[in-house]
Structures are given as C-alpha cells and as structure tokens.
Structure 1
Amino acid sequence: MRNVSKIIVLVAQLLVTAATAETVSTTNGGDSFMAGSTISQTYDAPGDIFVAGEVVTISGQSDGDVHIAGMNVEVDTNTNADLYAAGATVTVRADVAQDVTAMGYTVRLSPGAAVGGNARLLGRALVVNSPIAGALTAAGGEIALNSVIQGDVRLTTDNMTFGPDAQIMGQLVYASRSEIDIPERVISSDRVRYERLTRGMGWDDMRDTWEEVEMPALPTFISLFSVFLITLAFFVLIGSIFLTFAPKHVSRMRRDITNRPGHIFLLGIVGLSMLFGLIPITALTIVGIPFVPFGILLIILAWTLGYLLAAYAIAMRVMAAAGGPADPSLLIRLVVLAVAVCVVTLLNFIPFVGWIINYTLVLLGVGAMTAALFNRLIGNPGYALDVDMKPTEPE
C-alpha cells in the first residue's frame, strides 16, 4: 500500500503541474521525489531520494538510497545507503556508505568522495579517483584508476591507465583483446589474471559509436516521429480488432476501470505479479523451461493490451464528461483511441512522473483484464433479486 500511495500522490501532482512543465516535488513516508528540467536541490532526507531531470545537481544528506537520472548528473549528497545514477555525464563528489551503481557516457568518482561498499560502473570513459572499501566492477572504452581499492577488481576494457595513487589490495581480473602491462606498484603480478576478450559485432559497433561521438547522439525528430506514427498505427489496428469483434467485453472492462479504479488498480498489481511469477515457477518444473518464452510473450501482450485499454477507458470517460455521444460509432471510438495514445505518449516526455502515469495505466488495464478473467473462471452468478424482488442483471 505504501507504493500505491506514492503513485497516487505523484499522479495528483502531475495533473496540477503538467500543463506548465514545472518541477514536480513531493515526499511520502520519508522518501523524496523530484522531477523537472533543471534541478539543483539540497536534501536532509530521512528516507530514499528519487530525482530525474535534464541537468541535476543534488547535495546534502540522505539516510536512505539515492536514485538519480538525467543528462548531466552531479551528486554531492552524502548517503548512508546505496547510490544509483545514470546519465550522459555522472559525477560523484560525496561519500556513499554502501554501494555505487552508475552508468553513462562519462562516469567520474571524484577525489572528495568515498565508497564504503562495492562500485559497479559502465560507460565510455570511467575515472575512479575515490577510495573504494569493497570491490570494483567496471566496463568501458577507457578506464582510469587513481585510488585505493580494498577489494577485488574486475575490468573489461582495451584502454586502462593507472594514476600515482592507484593500488589494488585484492585480486585483479581484466578482460581485453590483448594483455596490458600492470605496474607492480598497483598490484603484484601473482594477483593478476588476464582473460582474452572475444567480442561480437554488437560490442564492436558499440565501441565504434563511442569513439565517433563526443556525447550521446539523440534521435532526430524525423526518426522519433516515424516511430511514433508506426506505434500509433499499431495501437489503432489492435483497437479496431477488439472493438469490432469483442465490443461488449471491451465495454465491460472499460466500465470497470472508470467505476472502480481503486479495486481494479489492486487487481492489476495481482495480475501483473502472477504473470511475472509465472516465469520462475515454470522454469523450476524443468519440463516447463521450453514454455518460458511463451510466458515472456504473454507478459508483453498483457502489458501492451492493458496500457491500450486503460488509455481508451479514460479517454472515453473524458469524452462522456464533455457531452459526447453515449453510444459513439466505431469510427469515433477509434479516433478517441488515437487521441488517447497521443496524449499518453506525450506524458513520456515528463521525466519520472510521466513513467509513473504510464505504469499506472498498465496496472489499470491489466487489472480490468484480471477481473474479467476471474469472473470467467468463477462463473456468472446469473440474475439476482433486488430489495423489491425484481430480477436485475449483473453488470
């Protein structure tokens, strides 16, 4: 229920601020949430921190985990737990009591920082100037070490350099296409193991892309618009199939979403949990391993149909509230569906909160389908008598 409360609060904040694209900020249960374009925030948070934006700079103190994502990310917040960061450039200047997990085009652990646990890094250029009390796992085009690593180190790269302060106290395992000379002052040769790196075309393409661009290249407008049109046509095609061949079932599930959103939301959590739990349970039977791909396909199908159903249900409710026809034609329903897909797609451009909205739609849609499935399995109770002893059909 705690996670449900977080989602509800963020949805309410979005409805108020989406039109002006202002920074969204809220707290719940000690956790702090913030999303916007340019964010510079100082925290004294008793719980976890979640931040997303284009340019993000945070400082202060957190007693919980820190989750941060953006194009340019700078972390000056001391945390007593874990740090998770992703961006084009990620710079960590604060102390992290436990683990650091970071990825980006450039990832830098500055000299003023310290990692109390393990560090896992992925990027084009990785610079480690912070002491690490645990192990280091890193993969990148270039890796530069200039600090003391108390634990074991595993590196995957073709370009490795060591600064004057670099020292590895544990074992070093590195993978590259050719052996690299490791100075004795960094680690003795008896604690070093080399693994020849065999790369497929995918790795080579990724490396070539890293070397050709200065910063991550964003898709062009034409490419994005083409993908959007193809996606829109795909969703409208699916909608037309269901609205043509199963209009009553779609109408019933749509009414469930608009009439009982809280109940359907919880059923969505149950239904999605059952689908994801189906994969390991099936695999554990051994004989069910060949059916695991079908389980994954079922999850993708339910996710897509649930997303589409919830967007359509909310759009139809808005149309009815605006005075639209009570029984619109198939063409009008498809137009409403297309508009709904356009709107929810635009929500994806709102950092963090847009994802929350879209995930909420998935849960509502999956919940409606779960309710329909449960009703199908339990059976239709048939006619019931109301207080006036008159037969009434169940909805």
Structure 2
Amino acid sequence: MTAAQRKRTRLLIFILLLAALLFATGALFAQMTARSGEQLDASDVTDDMVFLAAGELSVSAKSSDDIFAAGGELSINGAQADHMIAAGGDITVTKAAFHDFVVAGGDVDLIDAVIADDLVAAAGDLNVRADFRVNGSAVLSGGDLTIDAPIGGELRAAGASVRLNSEIGQDAHIVGEEVFIGPDARIGGDLRHRSGNIHIDPAAVVSGEIIELERPARPDLEAWGMKAAAALALFALAFLVGVALLVMVIALALPALMNSASDVIREKPFSMIGTGFLISIAAPVVILFLLATIFGIPLALLIVVIYAAAWPLAIAAFAYFTGMQARRAMTKNVSPPSAPARVLWSALAIIVLALISLIPILGGLVWLIASVTGLGAVMTKGGKALALKA
C-alpha cells in the first residue's frame, strides 16, 4: 500500500467513525433539542431534553424533561423543567420552577423560583434571595454567600463569608471564615459551625443545639499532607511535560488539522464552545445508550475510541490556536508558521495554560473552556483537515 493509499484509508476510517458518532448522536437527539450560538433566546415548550449553549443566553424554555444550559451571561426567566443544570459567568434566575436545580458560575443571583426538591449551587458570589424557595435540601458553596431563602430540608453551606437570615427546616451545617446568623434565621434542628468569626443575632432561633466543630490538631496528618503535596507537585510537573510534548508532536504532525481548527475557533468561538459542550455531554449518553443493546456494543466501542482520541487533539487545538494568536500579536507575522514555529508557540501556550490552571476556580474554568472549544473545532474540522493533508 502506497503512502497516499494509507492516508486515504486513515481518512476513510476517520470519516466512518465520525459518521457513526453523528448518526448515533442524531438518533438520540430525536428525543432532544440542542441549540448553540453567540446569542440565543430559548423559549421552547417541549417534552424533550434540552441542551443550550451561547455567549449570551436567555432561557425561558419549558420542558417536562431536563434542561442543560451554559453561557457567559445566562438569564433564566420563567423556565420550567424536571432537572435544570446551568453553568456560566453571570447567572440570574427569576420566576422559574424546577424539581432539582444544579448551578455553578462566577456571580450567581437566585432571585425568584420554586425548587420542589434539592438545590446545589457554587459561585464566587452567591445570593439566594427571599423569594427563592427550596422545598428540599440545599448544598451551597461560594466566596461570599448570602442565604435569605427558606429551605425546607437541611442546609450545608461553605464559603469565605456566609450570611444566613432565613428559615431552615432541619439542621444547618456552616463552614466559613466569617459567619453571620441574622435576626430572621429560624433553624429547625442543630446549628453546626466551624468559623474563625461567628455572630449569632439574639433574635435568631435555633431549635436544636449550637455545636462548634473544632479542627483537631493532627501533626501526623499534616506531615502526610506535606508528602502528598510534594508527590502531587511532581506528578503535576510530569503531567505538564507529557502534555507539552504531546501538543508539540500533534502540532508538528497534523498541521492541516491544527490550522483548520485554529481558524474556526478564531472565526466562531462561541459556536465551537457550544458544539464541544454538546458533544462532551452527548457522547457518553450515546455510549451508554448503545451499550444497553447487544447490536450497539461494537458501535459504542468505536465511539469510545473516537471520544478518547478527540480530547488530546482538543487540548492541542486550543493550545495551537492560543500560540498562533500570541505569535500574530507579538511578531506581527501573519504568514503560515514553519514547523519550528508551530512547535515553539504551541509549547509556550500550553505552559501559560498550565500556569493559569494554578489559579483556584479560574484555572479549572479556563481548562474546561479550552477543552470543549478545542473539541468542537476538532470534531467540526477533523475530516476536512485530514483530507487536505492526504
């Protein structure tokens, strides 16, 4: 077999596997609604599962199934669903109704909604206002955390600053550097807390006991923690070196794919985020769906192979895009990069991304965005790029 024939064979295999993934995803999406874009206003009424992603996203959709939403600026106004899962930068929720609600973001403002069962929320700044009602339990985490909403079940809250001024049906477990229990607080069970500074207003009512949770002194545990941290640091360094080498090899070996993916990220960043987000959710669901049937197992295994191979390519594509943008900005050179330039700038980009990942919360968010954006670009442009290479 000649080199050209081998290339065409690899391309054919890639196209067939990608087609299998898209076919299976499409079959599953017959029971789903999926939309993405830079700006999106979703107001559907459906019985299907809904996937939404956009830079600016407004959700007023109503579904008897689940809604998944992700956006830089996310407004949920009047939405209804069985389960609502939301992630974004700035998130506001008004006039909504869900059975369960899971939300994570930079600044989350929960203004007005009824949660029939449980709430799980994490944010840099998290406000759960008085008109927001949780009939079940709540698990809340944030930098600055304000809880004015009534919670029917148990409350577990942790943050740098935690302010509670509402009715809690059962026990309240609170951990924070500063904890304030306001005059309208009514705790139906015990108040268990760990805090360097706690203030309980005299008008607050705690039906059970107030229990301070001490942090026990464990020198042996601290010594173990130091060793574990050193081992983790060495592992992280080895992992960084491995990822950097992998990215450089991919940038050198697959220039057509990297250039094509970089171009589409630059031209349609939010579309690639949305596409990658949908694929990252849909592929595992499709795999489980196919594994449930005997005839679908071989196809499921093929999709697993594609999915596993796509993630390293996704990271490499985003690093390559970042490196090329930095090259263009710093050298004013818009000509196609040489092989050494592709390797050098990609390596520098992955090192910068690794340093950013050391920043709590922001680092994880940057890696998530890098992964799903690169995944969207690779899956969108992979077949065409390999055809050009062949």
User: Structure 2 CA distance, aligned partners of 1:99 and 1:151?
Assistant: 13
Alignment of 1:4 onto 2:25: yes
Cα pair distance change 1:166/1:7, threshold 3 Å: same
* Structure 2 contact 182–200 (Cα < 8 Å) conserved: no
User: Structure 2 CA distance, aligned partners of 1:3 and 1:165?
Assistant: 53
SS at match of 2:92: strand
* Structure 2 contact 73–91 (Cα < 8 Å) conserved: yes
* Structure 1 contact 72–90 (Cα < 8 Å) conserved: yes
Identity %: 25
User: Structure 2 CA distance, aligned partners of 1:11 and 1:78?
Assistant: 19
User: Structure 1 CA distance, aligned partners of 2:217 and 2:250?
Assistant: 43
SS at match of 2:205: coil
User: Structure 1 CA distance, aligned partners of 2:313 and 2:370?
Assistant: 20
Residue matched to 1:267: 301
User: Structure 2 CA distance, aligned partners of 1:3 and 1:173?
Assistant: 49
SS at match of 1:126: strand
Residue matched to 1:30: 48
Residue matched to 1:156: 175
User: Structure 2 CA distance, aligned partners of 1:185 and 1:12?
Assistant: 47
User: Structure 2 CA distance, aligned partners of 1:137 and 1:105?
Assistant: 17
Tell me which amino acid in the other structure corresponds to 1:90: V
Deviation at 1:231, TM superposition (A): 9.0
Tell me which amino acid in the other structure corresponds to 1:96: I
Residue matched to 1:56: 74
Deviation at 1:63, TM superposition (A): 3.2
Deviation at 1:77, TM superposition (A): 4.5
* Structure 2 contact 311–375 (Cα < 8 Å) conserved: yes
Residue matched to 2:134: 115
Per-residue CA deviation, residues 141-197 of structure 1 (Å, 9 max, x unaligned), is 111111110011111112111222111001111112467557474215x61211124
TM-score scaled by structure 2? Answer: 0.52
Deviation at 1:266, TM superposition (A): 2.0
Alignment of 1:47 onto 2:51: no
Residue matched to 2:118: 99
Tell me which amino acid in the other structure corresponds to 2:149: S
Residue matched to 1:307: 311
Tell me which amino acid in the other structure corresponds to 2:183: P
SS at match of 2:311: helix
Deviation at 1:311, TM superposition (A): 9.6
Tell me which amino acid in the other structure corresponds to 2:49: D
* Structure 1 contact 179–194 (Cα < 8 Å) conserved: no
Matches for 1:238-387 after TM superposition, within 5 Å: 238-239=249-250, 266-268=300-302, 303=308, 305-308=309-312, 355=372, 358=375
Deviation at 1:117, TM superposition (A): 0.8
Coordinate RMSD, CA, aligned: 5.1
Residue matched to 1:206: none
Deviation at 1:268, TM superposition (A): 4.8
User: Structure 2 CA distance, aligned partners of 1:159 and 1:69?
Assistant: 27
Match of 1:235 among 232, 240, 246: 246
Deviation at 1:234, TM superposition (A): 2.6
User: Structure 2 CA distance, aligned partners of 1:63 and 1:11?
Assistant: 13
Cα pair distance change 1:182/1:3, threshold 3 Å: farther
Per-residue CA deviation, residues 307-326 of structure 1 (Å, 9 max, x unaligned), is 346999xxxxxxxxxxxxxx
Tell me which amino acid in the other structure corresponds to 2:160: G
Matches for 1:181-192 after TM superposition, within 5 Å: 181=200, 183=202, 185-187=204-206, 191-192=209-210
Cα pair distance change 1:104/1:25, threshold 3 Å: same
SS at match of 2:301: helix
Deviation at 1:26, TM superposition (A): 10
Residue matched to 1:89: 107
Tell me which amino acid in the other structure corresponds to 1:358: L
Tell me which amino acid in the other structure corresponds to 1:58: I
User: Structure 2 CA distance, aligned partners of 1:138 and 1:311?
Assistant: 34
Tell me which amino acid in the other structure corresponds to 2:246: F
Match of 1:75 among 73, 80, 93: 93
SS at match of 1:56: strand
Tell me which amino acid in the other structure corresponds to 1:60: G
* Structure 2 contact 40–58 (Cα < 8 Å) conserved: no
User: Structure 2 CA distance, aligned partners of 1:159 and 1:132?
Assistant: 21
Deviation at 1:81, TM superposition (A): 1.2
* Structure 1 contact 24–36 (Cα < 8 Å) conserved: no
Deviation at 1:358, TM superposition (A): 2.2
Residue matched to 2:143: 124
SS at match of 2:159: strand
User: Structure 1 CA distance, aligned partners of 2:120 and 2:84?
Assistant: 10
Give aligned pairs, total. Answer: 259
User: Structure 2 CA distance, aligned partners of 1:37 and 1:67?
Assistant: 17
User: Structure 2 CA distance, aligned partners of 1:175 and 1:75?
Assistant: 30
Tell me which amino acid in the other structure corresponds to 2:137: N
Deviation at 1:64, TM superposition (A): 1.1
Tell me which amino acid in the other structure corresponds to 2:194: A
Deviation at 1:89, TM superposition (A): 1.1
Per-residue CA deviation, residues 26-51 of structure 1 (Å, 9 max, x unaligned), is 98861222211222232222221111
Tell me which amino acid in the other structure corresponds to 2:51: F
* Structure 1 contact 307–361 (Cα < 8 Å) conserved: no
Per-residue CA deviation, residues 334-380 of structure 1 (Å, 9 max, x unaligned), is 979x99xx9xx9xx99x989838728979xx9xxxxxxxxxxxxxxx
Alignment of 1:133 onto 2:144: no
Q: Which has the higher strand share?
A: 2
SS at match of 1:4: helix
User: Structure 2 CA distance, aligned partners of 1:32 and 1:97?
Assistant: 20
